[in-house]
Chains A and B, each alone.
Chain A
Amino acid sequence: MSTADRMDQIKGAVHTAVRHDSAENHVTGRSVFIDDMPNVPGTLHGALVKSPYAHARIQSIDVSAARDLPGVHAVLVAADIPGRNDVAPIFEGEPILAEGLVEYIGHPVAAIAAETMDIARAAEALVVIDYVELEPVLSIDDALNRKSFTSPPQIMRRGNSIQGMADAPHQISGEVRCGGQDHFYLETHIALAVPQEDNDMLVYSSTQHPTEVQHGVATVLGVPVNAVTTEIRRMGGGFGGKESQSTIIAALAALMAAKTRKPVKLRLSRDDDMVITGKRHDFLFRYQVGFDDNGRIEGIDILMACRAGNVADLSSSVLIRALCHADNAYYLPNAHIHGYPCKTNTVSNTGFRGFGGPQGMVAIETVIDHIARDLGKDPDDVRRANFYDKADRDTTHYGQKVEDNIIMEMVDSLSREIDYPARKKAVAAFNQENTVLKKGIALMPVKFGISFNLPTLNQAGALVHVYTDGSVHLNHGGTEMGQGLYIKVAQVVASTFQIDIDQVKISSTNTAKVPNTSATAASSGSDLNGMAAHDAATQIKARMAGVAADHFEVEESEIEFRNNRIYARNDSISFAELAQLTWENRVSLSATGFYSTPKIGWDNDTMTGRPFYYFSYGACVSEVVIDTLTGENRVLRTDILQDCGRSLNPAIDLGQIEGAFVQGMGWLTMEELWWDEKGALRTHGPSTYKIPGSRDVPPEFNIHILEDAPNREPTIFRSKAIGEPPLMLALSVWLALRDAVAAVGGPRCVPNLDTPATAEAVLRAVDDARSRAHGG
């Protein structure tokens, strides 16, 4: 990787702020999303019949009237599935069409393929289903009481938490809840299934996980995996919502296509998308903690109960990540962290940027905040008292040594940069003078583990061809959802070959080109696929170097690839000339690359190991104001310092930091999933479910990428993952809102503020703080 250490002269090298490869296509409307692909004549459109009950037995289904509607080509139910009706990503028993039992409002029961979408939707109402209602379980609390889980509880334990708490000078306990979150990718779920010869199926799927789509379609159709090809050029946003959920949509489209022998497009309306597909897990936390006079934790017990929904999906993995982030950046000497994936009659929740990590951090940050306010201390002093040290107190509660700890330096640096102590004083002064409006300010440190928790998933493949004119074709298993993975990997290939990036053709992710891939998830896209592509390019480069050495009659070690040319002593030829020469010499210009993350391991029985190759760090301070009459609130200023290692592309990384922060802010403030007493989601479109708009972004929003911070592990060009970690910086907003509420209650007021901190939630917390201050 010597090329990385030298200033590259090529266009689009790593570490430069190259534009997103699709930028011009995006702004001109030329970027093709699946719904934009030219219609093949005869393509049918799909619609789904959905359960109106949260829990009911299906007595009978009569599809005849729907089937008879002119223009309808198929109305399919579970019994029509030729293979196995199961697309569970981890466990078993997750049907694409309900079999005998519906388990949430919106549960698909039948799939309709018709000549137009309007006909398909009109036919929905004609399917007659006879249900017998059963009692639903609609809340986490209810499921917890009934011990109704989608997979076994998971427990992480170190030391003796009971003894640790008992021996500590102070003990407190409490409860906090955090809400779920809809992904609200702008492009809803979509799949286009096109039947091929020999019962093969080509599926265009808006998915972060083409391989799982391929497997799911093969399972449902009862064909071998090699009969199915999945392709995706780009998604209109994913955020984890298209990791497992897209398999359901793709398998339904493929089922209809297989039955009708026609291409079938299944595009969910926004309402269907929000009702049928999973979201971020909401959590209930109950904690007990013992600590010393400085607020240093001596023993802790945290119950983490999440709403898994009707089936397991990825919930067990989400829960493990929540448990693994119950420490955030703090050393927990005696810890008992126990997680419960609650089975409820609501839509099955799924991965969402951070994947349980943000929720785990809500728990521990509540604890830290509670300790500080209980002791009458500044929460940041309690944070510092609990940060991991660089020796001794440096091992997580799941046994991983924190080797790359830079959290204290980052917090110090950010605090200095923004004169944090003076800002706190100014907030206090404002609160002295104002009765209706109150400000709050808070710091959020983040330590986030990078790698899939399950070691097996940490692998990737790539395919690189060099053509005889020197142009390069690049393919890998990662998917593009706007995050800039394609351009980052192209930068890696350009830098490896030392050619301009416009020589590198980026191509759609396709299971026929690179097989057996992992989801583009867990922030791992560029770490894994960048390395795999680097491996492929390096192999070809070595072969080309051999040809060049023969050509120039020098040692291979004397061959240098630099600025689109290949040098040997005083001679040189262009990259294109060498490509032609390599071909003439009958040497392969194509290679597959592979990467598997080193050093990692996990024991699922003891819940210990080194699940993470490294940690990504960040620090953030947000200042907010609340209206104590209405609970309305607003972020006034946010300052971020984020660790990107040695950034592959600072412009792309900046976009990830800003976007993740604003998405996290939405989760914690205005985005409210509201279910009625029957279990129906009533916020299922942007008119009722409010994600942040441009005016909600902090008017003062300063972001710094940590400089001179190469990853201490030899990751791709020493960069760090960036997709998820900055989302958790948004907890600073919620902590600042707590701080503002605490200002109403006076000294030692511990605010009761769950998330999302909507205006209503803030007003409730304000009233609660006030009533406790006045007599409570």
Chain B
Amino acid sequence: MPVRFQLNGVLIEEDDVSPSMTVLDYLREMKGLKGTKEGCAEGDCGACTIAIQSALGRVKSVNACLMLVPQLDGMSVTTVEGLSGPDEAIHPVQQAIVDHHAAQCGFCTPGFVMALHAFTQTGEALTYDSVHEAIAGNLCRCTGYRPIVDAAVSLGSKAEKLIPPAIEQTDYYTDGNEDFFAPRSLDQLVALKSEHPDAFILAGGTDLGMRASKDRQPYGQVISTANVMELNQIERDESSVMFGAAVNYTRALPMLEEIAPSFALLVRRIGSRQIRNLGTIGGNICNASPIGDTPPCLIALDAVMIAHGSSGRREISADDFFTDYRKTALGPDEILEAIRIPVPSPDLIFRAYKVSKRFDQDISAVVGAYALKIENGIVASVRIAFGGMAATPARAPACEAALMGRSWSMETAMVAGVALSEDFTPLTDFRASQDYRTRVASNLLQRLYLDTTQPDVPVEVMAL
């Protein structure tokens, strides 16, 4: 079956494009749509931003450089060329950029236009804060952003909502050399994984996509989880929330806000809007990167990973999931089906702190996640986990021991901070030195103390 999608209003069927071709290359080289630019090929500059929409979904900004052509199956795709009206009339987002002198060299401009177009489709209020979040994935080196943000805020929320057509999707695509499987059900997914244990499991592709965009390597076989119904569910009962492994960050955010606002704040700093529209918590976990942002939170919150293989389902605690540098406890025939997070009790204090060079869209030097209960001034329970401090996201047992049963004071926090040096010997790299990681991880305990005991005193620069 070919992949079918609508491109700027025209239905397209493709049956001989390599499944390893990026959407960016496809648009530029095969369709002659040169408005979409390559600035970095790693999903960090936003010059390749386009808008996609599934039949039932909302409009999403995504990085065309990180997407593979079969991921467009069933989508309505809009590029900067498709925004103008039938009479070539300039779109209101475009007009606002023009009116505010918000384009200089113009290379980043189509990406900003598309990010803002997608943003106006979400129905969110256009405030300075929300606009920053919407364009955090778009870099401009000329303007200093002020006119772009002003242009966005001037738009107001009066965008006409687009209704996409329903387009039949395929569950298998091949160009004769490479295979792209898009199973619909968990059973099909598990069967495909046992049949093709070496196939790449593609969730959002925001990390895996770099194999095509930067390394220029074919994939051979890809199994996409995007259309697996069971993996796209979010279910809540009294004691826990279950996130299907293919739920992207943007969809997960409202539920995370409900159960753990500090976790949600951290997730808003993962990648950019474009990345979060594709990237999934499941992907973040299965990558098992030592600097992934969600794993420390999941460990601190005592989450459980639901693995599914040919012999059925099993549960793995987040503590035990990350076995080594970029290695997980999943067996060769297993996939991650879901993540179950216990709903924190009202007396559980949960905080997540991320330290990086840039507030938005940066990879952490250190992430600390803290879940603790204070009863009568005494630390009654505690789970603390860090990212960026070891080869895997990991708990901090010595630090926890220094807290457990002690009175919750600045002195205790400082002692617990010092105890971290027994837990971790971090590396020096281009994000941070060993000294800095050690020192910050320790100091964050002091922030935690102040944050949890003196809510009126600002303890983070973003609070001002």
Q: Could you tell me which A residues sit within 8 Å of B by CB distance?
A: 17, 19-20, 22-33, 35-36, 38, 117-118, 121-122, 183-188, 234-237, 239, 269-271, 434, 436-437, 481-484, 625-627, 629-634, 636, 651-652, 654-655, 658-663, 670, 672, 674, 676, 682-683, 685-688, 690-697, 699, 701, 758-760, 763-764, 767
What is the CA–CA distance of A763 and B441 in the complex, to the nearest angstrom?
12
- Give A311 Cβ to nearest chain B Cβ, in Å: 25
Who on chain B is nearest to A433 by CB? B457
8 A-B residue contacts at CB 8 Å? A118-B216, A234-B106, A483-B142, A631-B436, A690-B362, A692-B358, A693-B136, A760-B436
CB distance B131 to A694 under 8 Å?
Answer: yes
- Main SS of chain A's interface residues? loop
A627:B461 contact, CB within 8 angstroms = yes
A655 touches B443 (CB 8 A): no
Contact between chains at A695 and B444 (CB < 8 Å): no
Q: Are A693 and B358 in contact (CB under 8 A)?
A: yes
Interface check B401, CB cutoff 8 A: no
A340 to chain B, nearest CB (A): 27
Q: Which of A27, A437, A626 contacts B94 (CB 8 A)?
A: A27
Complex CA–CA separation, A663 to B140 (angstroms): 10
Among B96-104, B158-166, B245-253, the stretch that binds chain A is B96-104
Residues of A within 8 A of B140 (CB): 186, 694
CA distance A379 to B105 in the complex (A): 38
**A703 — nearest CB in chain B belongs to which residue?**
B146
The answer to whether B357 and A759 have CB atoms under 8 Å apart is yes
Q: B398-421, CB under 8 A of A: which get 1 and which 0?
A: 000000000000000000000000
Determine how close the nearest CB of chain A comes to the CB of B366; give it in whole angstroms: 9
| CB–CB A437/B464 < 8 A | yes
A632 touches B461 (CB 8 A): yes
Question: Which B residues, 110 to 168, have Cβ-Cβ distances below 8 Å to chain A?
Answer: 110, 113, 128, 131-132, 135-136, 138-149
Does A122 lie within 8 Å of B430, measured CB to CB? no
Interface contact A437-B103, CB-CB below 8 Å: no
With A239-B141, A630-B444, A658-B144 given, is the CB distance from A763 to B136 under 8 Å? no
Q: How far is the CA of A658 from the CA of B107 in the complex (A)?
A: 18
Q: Which one of B33-41, B187-195, B375-383 contacts A?
A: B33-41
B103–A26 CB distance below 8 A: yes
> Is B234 in the interface zone, CB < 8 Å from A?
no
Determine the chain B residues whose CB is within 8 A of the CB of A686 once the complex forms.
Answer: 39-40, 42, 44-45, 139
Any A CB within 8 A of the CB of B90: yes
Nearest CB of chain B from residue A512's CB, rounded to whole Å: 24
- Determine whether B450 belongs to the interface, using a CB cutoff of 8 Å to chain A: yes
Does any Cβ of A come within 8 Å of B231's Cβ?
A: no
Q: Which residue of A lies closest to B216 (CB)?
A: A118
B79 near A481 with CB under 8 A, answer no
Q: How far is the CA of A693 from the CA of B298 in the complex (A)?
A: 28
Whether A237 contacts B105 in the complex (CB less than 8 A), given A28-B81, A118-B216, A186-B140, comes out as yes
Q: Which residues of B contact A434 (CB under 8 A)?
A: 457-458
Chain B residues, Cβ within 8 Å of A699: 128
Determine chain B's interface SS by DSSP, over half rule.
loop
Which B-chain residue is minimally distant from A184 (CB atoms)? B141
Chain B positions 343 through 379: 1 when the CB is less than 8 Å from some CB of chain A, otherwise 0? 0000000000001111111110100000000000000
- Distance of A20 Cα from B147 Cα, bound (Å): 13
A632 touches B464 (CB 8 A): no
Instruction: Please measure, in the bound complex, the distance between the C-alpha atom of A633 and the C-alpha atom of B131, giving whole angstroms.
Output: 21
**Contact A235:B139 (CB < 8 A) given known A24-B98, A186-B47, A694-B148:** no
List A contacts of B128 (CB < 8 A): 699
Q: Is B58 an interface residue (CB 8 A)?
A: no
Bound CA span A484–B104, Å = 7
Task: Evaluate contact between A663 and B34: CB separation under 8 angstroms.
Answer: no
B45 to A186, Cβ gap below 8 A? yes
Chain A CB within 8 A of B425 CB:
no
- Would B104 and A186 count as touching, CB distance under 8 A? no
Beta-carbon contacts of B432-464 to A below 8 Å, as 1s and 0s?
110010011001101100100000011111111
Cβ 8 A contact of A23, one of B45, B103, B149, B464: B103
Query: For the complex, what is the distance from the CA of A194 to the CA of B259, rounded to whole Å?
Result: 61
Top-5 shortest CB links A-B: A29-B35, A482-B105, A236-B107, A26-B106, A482-B104
Among B106, B107, B146, B447, find the residue whose CB has the most chain A CB atoms closer than 10 A.
B106
Closest approach, in angstroms, between the C-beta of B454 and any C-beta of chain A? 10
Q: Which A residue's beta carbon lies closest to that of B432?
A: A760
Do A690 and B358 have beta carbons less than 8 Å apart? yes
**Contact status of A629 and B444, CB under 8 A, knowing A28-B94, A683-B430, A701-B146:** yes
A699 to B106: give the CA distance in the assembly, Å: 24
Q: Which of B36, B106, B365, B447 contacts A629 (CB 8 A)?
A: B447
- Among A36, A627, A697, which residue has its beta carbon within 8 angstroms of that of B144? A697
B143 A625 Cβ-Cβ under 8 A: no
- B461, A682: Cβ atoms closer than 8 Å: no
B139 in contact with A27 (CB, 8 Å): no
Give B242 Cβ to nearest chain A Cβ, in Å. 31
Q: Closest chain B residue to A673 by CB distance?
A: B430
* A437→B459 contact, CB < 8 A: yes
Instruction: Determine if B106 and A693 form an interchain contact, defined as CB atoms under 8 angstroms apart.
Output: no
Which residues from chain A contact B355 at a C-beta distance below 8 Å? 630, 632, 759
By a CB distance below 8 angstroms, the chain B residues around A632 are: 355, 460-461
Q: Are A28 and B35 in contact (CB under 8 A)?
A: yes
- Minimal Cβ-Cβ distance residue in B for A758: B357
Contacts of A687 in B (CB 8 A): 40, 42-44, 363
Residues of B within 8 A of A695 (CB): 132, 136, 359-360
Distance in Å: Cβ of B137 to nearest Cβ of chain A: 8
- Chain A: CB-nearest residue to B149: A694
Contacts of B106 in A (CB 8 A): 22, 25-26, 31, 234, 236, 482
Shortest C-beta distance, B201 to chain A (Å), equals 22
Given contacts A186-B141, A234-B106, whether A658 and B429 have CB atoms under 8 Å apart is no
A91 smallest CB distance to B (angstroms) = 30
Q: Which residues of B contact A631 (CB under 8 A)?
A: 436, 440
Min CB distance B18 to A, Å, is 10
Q: Does B185 sit within 8 A of A, measured CB to CB?
A: no
Contact: B144 with A186, CB < 8 Å? no
A636 to chain B, nearest CB (A): 6
| Whole-angstrom CA separation of A434 from B103 in the bound complex | 41
CA distance A688 to B39 in the complex (A): 14
- Which residues of A are found within 8 Å of B135, using beta-carbon distances? 693-694
**Most A C-beta atoms less than 10 A away, residue of B214, B357, B443, B462:** B357
**A186, B450: Cβ atoms closer than 8 Å:** no
**What is the CA–CA distance of A70 and B77 in the complex, to the nearest angstrom?**
35
Q: Does B338 contact A (CB under 8 A)?
A: no
Check B224 for interface membership: any CB of A closer than 8 A: no
* A346–chain B nearest beta-carbon distance, Å: 15
Query: Which residues on A sit within 8 Å (CB–CB) of B95?
Result: 27
CB of B84 closer than 8 Å to a CB of A: yes
Q: Are B462 and A481 in contact (CB under 8 A)?
A: no
A31: min CB distance to chain B, Å: 5
Question: What residues on B are CB-neighbors of A660 within 8 Å?
Answer: 144
Q: Specify which of A24, A28, A187, A682 is in contact with B107 (CB 8 Å cutoff).
A: A187
Query: B109 within 8 Å of A by Cβ?
Result: yes
**Chain A: which residue is nearest B454 at the CB level?**
A436
Residue ID in chain A nearest B355 by CB atoms: A630
Question: Is B288 in contact with chain A by the CB < 8 A criterion?
Answer: no
* B330 interface hit (Cβ, 8 Å): no
Query: Nearest A residue to B84 by beta-carbon distance?
Result: A28
CB distance B80 to A482 under 8 Å? no
Give the CA-CA distance A760 to B147 in the complex, in Å: 31
Q: Which of B34, B81, B146 contacts A658 (CB 8 A)?
A: B146
A395 to B229, CA, bound (A): 76
A647 to B39, CA, bound (A): 32
Other A-B contacts than A655-B104, A759-B357, A763-B439, 13 sampled, CB-CB below 8 A, are A24-B90, A27-B94, A27-B110, A33-B37, A185-B141, A186-B45, A236-B106, A237-B142, A483-B104, A674-B429, A686-B40, A693-B145, A697-B149
Q: A140 CB to closest chain B CB, in angstroms? A: 19
Q: Are A237 and B107 in contact (CB under 8 A)?
A: yes
A629-B446, A692-B358 as given contacts; A29 in contact with B34, CB under 8 Å: yes
